[in-house]
Homo-oligomer: A and B are copies of this chain.
């Protein structure tokens, strides 16, 4: 299990990366039980119909799954999304969203995770599954 310091470094590293900052998404937890994210849907996230673009929701679910994997991995190990599938269950209107990720299966090289995003009232707006490749610490 990750030390509290290592967990704090993981969150800090990701919350500072370009994509998280551009869309205003934060990872608030990533440990061996899974990950939690928050984002406020704003005008710059919207498609022409006035709800969040699929890229925002797919990015949020992808990130939630990836950080759930990193929250269980030895410090320094990375992971890369091989593929991602997201079902969009309801429009995501401007306002707060939360997302969670959890690991479904850990293989030696391949890890499968699931994630979901929900509106402030708890109703699901997206669910997803992703396949990830471990990137050993030494090879980064």
User: Could you tell me which A residues sit within 8 Å of B by CB distance?
Assistant: 13-14, 16-23, 42-49, 52-56, 58-60, 62-63, 66, 78, 80-91, 104-105, 107, 109-110, 112, 114, 124, 127, 129, 131, 133, 135, 140
Interchain CB contact under 8 A, A84 and B85: yes
Chain B minimum-CB-distance residue to A54: B62
Q: Is the interface of A mostly helix, strand, loop or mixed?
A: mixed
The complex is assembled from copies of this chain, and their number is 4
Instruction: List, in ascending order, chain B residues with CB within 8 A of A90's CB.
Output: 105
Chain A to chain B: the 9 pairs with minimum beta-carbon distance, closest first: A55-B59, A19-B53, A58-B58, A54-B62, A22-B44, A85-B85, A18-B44, A18-B46, A89-B105
Instruction: List, in ascending order, chain B residues with CB within 8 A of A21's CB.
Output: 44
Instruction: List, in ascending order, chain B residues with CB within 8 A of A46's CB.
Output: 17-19
Question: Which of B49, B56, B104 has a CB less than 8 Å from the CB of A55?
Answer: B56
